[in-house]
Amino acid sequence: MKTIAFFDTKSYDKLSFSGRENDKYSFKFFESKLNENTVSMAACCDAVCVFVNDNINRFVIDKLCEFGVKLIVLRCAGYNNVDIKYAKGKITVLRVPDYSPYSVAEHTMALLLMLNRKLHRAYIRTRDHNFSLEGLCGFDLHSKTAGIIGTGRIGRVFGEICKGFSMNVLGYDPYPSNEFVGEYVDLDTLLKTADVISLHCPLTKENRFFIDQSAIEKMKNGAYIVNTSRGMLIDTKALITGLKSGKIAGAGLDVYEEETHLFFEDYSDEVIHDDVLSTIISMPNVIVSSHQAFLTKEALKDIADTTLYNLDSFFEGKELKNQVL
């Protein structure tokens, strides 16, 4: 029986994996994130299973190899937290390339609807028996233009949802898909035209902070921006400037550029020493959720199914269809 060390584990992870019939693997669930200080927990394990905020750098990779760990399985699609170049030839890395695209796409629309119709503010008011409608005016999504950056499965599903609201849909992607329901345009045209901009692309060296001051200046006055992909796609300080000036009317963020040591944890009894995050959370036209767009029963099942498939493929010597390198 192979031993798999799960890092950054929450209750829903345990339910997804331990609630199945299994005679192949022994799971060790650790709440700690995998990093230089916790990698020793992986000693005597055959593989590690990691999530988006684990830090698999050179030191961690060397230690895993030293411990005899043969495999890193990511229970997510992105792998920007793994030093892929350094891992090459040393340890195998597998990922979950896709799972329920509806989970993230629907959360994206939920953020947009909440922002536009000020539902977060209305919820707080009515709990205080304040039934005033002052300051809660939104706009019809009907006939507005949604600009979707990244038209993989999630971006395409979000485009279909936008079509359901009778929105015009524009898309930008270096690799266009003939399944995309909208019209492809160049990035500048999308930024200048869209009433709502939604990010659905992986984080790469090329697009890190590509939504910066220059990109924001190109946007339509009063545009909304939603990010359910990766935090470092947006320069948060530039975003705050755009929000303060009114250039951006609102932002829905499920991710944040410095989320690694914060998201997925409870700091409600502590002072957060991150002035940028504290500023953006305090703004009335911003909604921040804690990287929860993926969190549906269907998505968790898909993630567990693919992760177990990846483990079986590796340890049974089968084709590694989801290999990163």
Tens of pLDDT, residues 134-166: 999 999 999 999 999 999 999 999 999 999 999
Q: What is the mean pLDDT of the chain?
A: 96
Q: What does the block give as tokens for 232?
A: 């470092």
Q: What does the block give as tokens for 58?
A: 């050179």
CA distances from 139 to 79, 143, 279 (A): 37, 11, 26
Cα angle 33-37-42, degrees, rounded to a multiple of 5: 70
Q: What does the block give as tokens for 317?
A: 């010597």
Confidence (pTM): 0.91
User: For residue 21, what pLDDT is reported?
Assistant: 73
CATH of domain 101-288: 3.40.50.720
Burial of 319 from C-beta contacts in 10 A (0-12 / 13-18 / 19+): exposed
Counting residues of the chain whose pLDDT is more than 90, the rounded percentage is: 95
User: For residue 116, what pLDDT is reported?
Assistant: 97
183-184: strand order across its sheet: 183-184, 168-172, 145-149, 196-199, 223-227, 248-253, 286-288
126 three-state secondary structure: helix
User: For residue 193, what pLDDT is reported?
Assistant: 98
Is 95 considered catalytic here? no
Closest CA to 56 of 43, 65, 45, 46: 65
User: For residue 23, what pLDDT is reported?
Assistant: 85
Pairing of strands 168-172, 183-184: parallel
Within the chain, which residue ranges are assigned CATH 3.40.50.720?
A: 2-99+297-315, 101-288
Distance CA 17, CA 33 (A): 18
> Using 50, 70 and 90 to split pLDDT, how confident is the model at 22?
confident
* Marked catalytic residue, from 291, 298, 316, 319: 291
* Marked catalytic residue, from 75, 95, 107, 230: 230
Side-chain half-sphere of 16: how many Cα atoms within 13 Å?
A: 22
Calculate the CA 324 to chain-centre distance.
18
Distance CA 177, CA 171 (A): 10
277 three-state secondary structure: helix
* Marked catalytic residue, from 127, 259, 273, 316: 259
Contact indicator for 211, 199 with CB cutoff of 8 Å = yes
Mean pLDDT of 269-283: 94
Calculate the CA 141 to chain-centre distance.
24
Mean pLDDT of 245-259: 96
Class of domain 2-99+297-315: alpha beta
pLDDT digits (tens, 9 = 90+) for 3-19: 999 999 999 999 999 87
Amino acid 211 reads: I
